Amino acid sequence: MGKKLAVVAFGGNALLRGDQKGTIEEQEANVYDTCKHLVNLIKKDYEIIIGHGNGPQVGNVLLQHEAGQKIYGIPKMPMDICVAETQGAIGLMIEQQLRNVLAKNGINKNIITIVTEVLVDKDDFAFKNPTKPVGPFYSREEADKLTHDNGWVFHEDPRGRGWRRVVASPKPMKVNNREIIERLAREGNIVITVGGGGIPAYMKTKDELVGIDAVIDKDLASAHLAGNIKADEFYILTDVPQVYVNFNKPDQKSLGQVKADEIKKYLDEGHFAEGSMAPKVRASLHFIKKGGKSCTITMADKLGNGQAGTTILKS
C-alpha cells in the first residue's frame, strides 16, 4: 500500500501574527515554527502538499505599489501580479525554513515551489460582493480615509481587531498543473502550491488566458486541489485549536470529531464568522463532498495528534 497524501493549508498565523510588523525575521521565525510540526506527518509516512495564505502580504504589496506610483510615478501592478509576487516570496520562505527543519531531523526530501494559476469565472457573484480580507488592520477613521482616497471596501474584523480591506474572492474552478503537482508529491517530493489561493485568471476567449483582480480563498483552493487529486486527508492550520460553536460566548462549545451534515447545520445557523472560520468550514465540506476522507482544522502544534483539533468526517 502506498503512502497517504495530505494537503496542508497554512493559515496567516503561520507567517505573520497580529502584533507583528511583518519583518522578514518575524516571518521566517513563524514559518520555521510551523514547519517543525510537519515533521510529525512526514515521520508517519505522509506525502505532503502545502498551500498557504497571503492576506497580510498581498495587502502590503498593494500598498507598496500605491505608494510607488504616488511618490515616484512607478506604474502599479494589478492584483493578480501582486498575488504572484507574494506566492514566490512566501514559497521561498516556506521552502527555505522547511529545508532547515528537515536537515535538523535528518530527513532528505526535495521541496518544490510552483507558482500556480487558478481559473475562476469572471461572472462569479463574488466580484459584486467583496468579502476576502487583505492587508493590515486599520482604525475606522483610517479605513474611511482609504475608502475616500482609493474607493476600497472595508469590513470590521469579527474579533474586534479593527477594519480590513476586502476584495472579491471567487470560487476556484481549476488549478493549473494539478497533474504535475500530484505526480511530484506522490513521487516523494514536498510541493508548495496554490499560494494565496492561486493567481486568479480566467479564459477571456477559448484560447486567451488573462489575470483578474481577486484573491481566491486559500483554504477553498487547497480543498479544491486536494479533492481533485484524491488526497487522503486535508489539514487547515489556524490560530485556534478547534472549531467552536457560540464562539466567545458563555455557552461556547468546542467540536472534536463531527460529521459533515452536523457542521453544515452549524454553518447555516451562522455560528462561524465570515472572513474567519466560515470559509474554513466551507473548504472542509468541499473536500469531503469531493470524496475526501477527513479534514482537520487545528493549530500547527497539534499536527499528527489523532485526537487534536476538529476533524470533519463524511456523514
Instruction: Name the percent of the chain lying above pLDDT 70.
Output: 99
Residue 224 C-beta-side C-alpha neighbours within 13 Å: 22
For residues 181 and 240, what is the distance between their CA atoms, to the nearest angstrom?
29
Residue numbers annotated as active site = 12-13, 132, 218, 280
For residues 232 and 168, what is the distance between their CA atoms, to the nearest angstrom?
30
pLDDT value of position 306: 66
pLDDT value of position 289: 95
Choose between 137 and 116: higher pLDDT. 116
∠ Cα 132 228 305 (to 5°): 75
Neighbours of 63 (CB within 10 A): 17
Average pLDDT over residues 280-305: 93
Choose between 75 and 2: higher pLDDT. 75
Average pLDDT over residues 123-137: 89
- Nearest Cα neighbor of 82 from 65, 67, 70, 69 is 65
Asked if residue 106 lies in contact with residue 29, where contact means CB atoms within 8 angstroms, the answer is: no
Burial class (CB in 10 A: 0-12, 13-18, 19+), 94: buried
Q: Which of 57-61, 166-170, 309-313 has the lowest mean pLDDT?
A: 57-61
- Scanning the structure block, which residue is given the C-alpha cell 470533519? 312
CA dihedral for 115, 128, 75, 67, sign (positive or negative):
negative
Strand pairing class (46-52; 190-192): parallel
Neighbours of 179 (CB within 10 A): 11
Residue 1 has pLDDT above 60, yes or no: no
CA distances, 210 to each of 25, 160, 205 (Å): 35, 37, 9
pLDDT digits (tens, 9 = 90+) for 240-290: 899 999 888 899 999 999 999 999 999 999 999 887 899 999 999 999 999
- Nearest Cα neighbor of 212 from 110, 127, 312 is 127
Average pLDDT, the chain: 93
Pick the CATH number of 4-120+176-313 from 1.20.1250.20, 3.40.1160.10, 1.10.287.1770, 3.40.50.2300: 3.40.1160.10
Residue 248 C-beta-side C-alpha neighbours within 13 Å: 7
CA distances, 300 to each of 74, 108, 116, 185, 237 (Å): 39, 22, 24, 21, 6
pLDDT digits (tens, 9 = 90+) for 179-207: 999 999 999 999 999 999 999 999 999 99
pLDDT digits (tens, 9 = 90+) for 43-95: 999 999 999 999 888 888 988 998 998 899 999 899 999 999 999 999 999 99
